[in-house]
Amino acid sequence: MSDHGLSYLANCSIMFTEHPLLRRPAAAKAAGFDAIEFWWPWPDQPVPADTDADAFVRAVLEAGVRLVGLNFFAGDLAGPDCGTLSIPARAGQFRDNVDVAVGIGGQLGVSAFNALYGNRVADASPREQDELAADSIGRAAGAAARIGATVLIEPVSGPKPYPLRTADDAVAVVTAARTAGHQNVGFLCDLFHLANNGDDVDAAIAKHAGVTSHVQIADWPGRGEPGSGRLDLDRYLADLAGRGYAGWVGLEYKPTTDTETSLAWLPRQRRAARGQDPR
């Protein structure tokens, strides 16, 4: 493993699943991480009960980790959904969620909110969905700015009819948002999704490192831990760092074994924050 100097965090929606959700922050801390990220913890609830939200906040605080990244409500990611912000029948769920997510984020030090774009649907044209998406992203950016956070736009792979497939696709949305005055919208460079979609990862990094606000990794094929596939992740991360990226690297992989064993590639001392504020 090369020493590119970037700090790692654990995605506790896809890692540490041996534990109930509220115990995963503590499990990540016990494994040596200072920081974590989560998908929206309630896939069927844009606005959870106050008691549930309070329990989530308490679990993170008591674990002594920082929640760096949090998805806005995106529906059932394990099922048919991949965001709601561009879907006319469901954009209200996204709007209802924004202030709740930012409220949680303000308590836990969240610096980035992933705004998944949403699938194409039969009852709206692509143009209608894109116009709605621009409005939704602008609203989210305004709310996130209140706590100094960024809104992330991500290309996604897989069989769902998700329109942002390449780095260029996602960065076009970022550019439009920034042109509209929302400078706190950035590119989420997920190396697995780019590779899985057949995008040129080297070219994407070279072209878009300057608007990259967060990075996530998993190996390809398979989406397992680094070393389980064929991606030269160290080289990609070193290239990002060399081009000025100094943010977090989210481990968003599906362990091929238990989570702790799957971390054998990453020495324990490299799991702690390096040059990042862990709180």
What domain count does the chain have? 1
Q: Look at residue 153 and tell me if it is in a domain.
A: yes
Q: Look at residue 23 and tell me if it is in a domain.
A: yes
Asked whether the beta carbons of 119 and 164 are under 8 A apart, the reply is no
Residues that are catalytic: 154, 252
Q: Tokens at residue 185, please?
A: 């919208």
**pLDDT-derived band at 279, boundaries 50, 70, 90:** very low
pLDDT tens-digit readout, 240-275: 999 999 999 999 999 999 999 999 999 999 999 876
Give the residue, 245 or 3, on which the prediction is more confident: 245
**pLDDT-derived band at 166, boundaries 50, 70, 90:** very high
Residue 161: which of 86, 65, 215, 229 has the closest Cα? 86
Please report the pLDDT score of residue 274 as a whole number: 78
Please report the pLDDT score of residue 55 as a whole number: 98
Q: Look up the domain containing 23 and give its range.
A: 7-184
Give the residue, 140 or 2, on which the prediction is more confident: 140
- Residue 112 belongs to a domain with what CATH number? 3.20.20.150
pLDDT tens-digit readout, 203-242: 999 999 999 999 999 999 999 999 999 999 999 999 999 9
Q: Look at residue 74 and tell me if it is in a domain.
A: yes
**pLDDT-derived band at 110, boundaries 50, 70, 90:** very high
Q: Look at residue 269 and tell me if it is in a domain.
A: no
Please report the pLDDT score of residue 278 as a whole number: 53
Q: Look at residue 236 and tell me if it is in a domain.
A: no
pLDDT tens-digit readout, 45-98: 999 999 999 999 999 999 999 999 999 999 999 999 999 999 999 999 999 999
Query: Whole-structure pTM over 0.85, yes or no?
Result: yes
Task: Share the mean pLDDT of the chain.
Answer: 97
Listed in sequence order, the residues at least 6 apart from 279 whose beta carbon sits closer than 8 Å to its beta carbon are 66, 109
Q: Look at residue 262 and tell me if it is in a domain.
A: no
Q: Look at residue 191 and tell me if it is in a domain.
A: no
Q: Look at residue 19 and tell me if it is in a domain.
A: yes
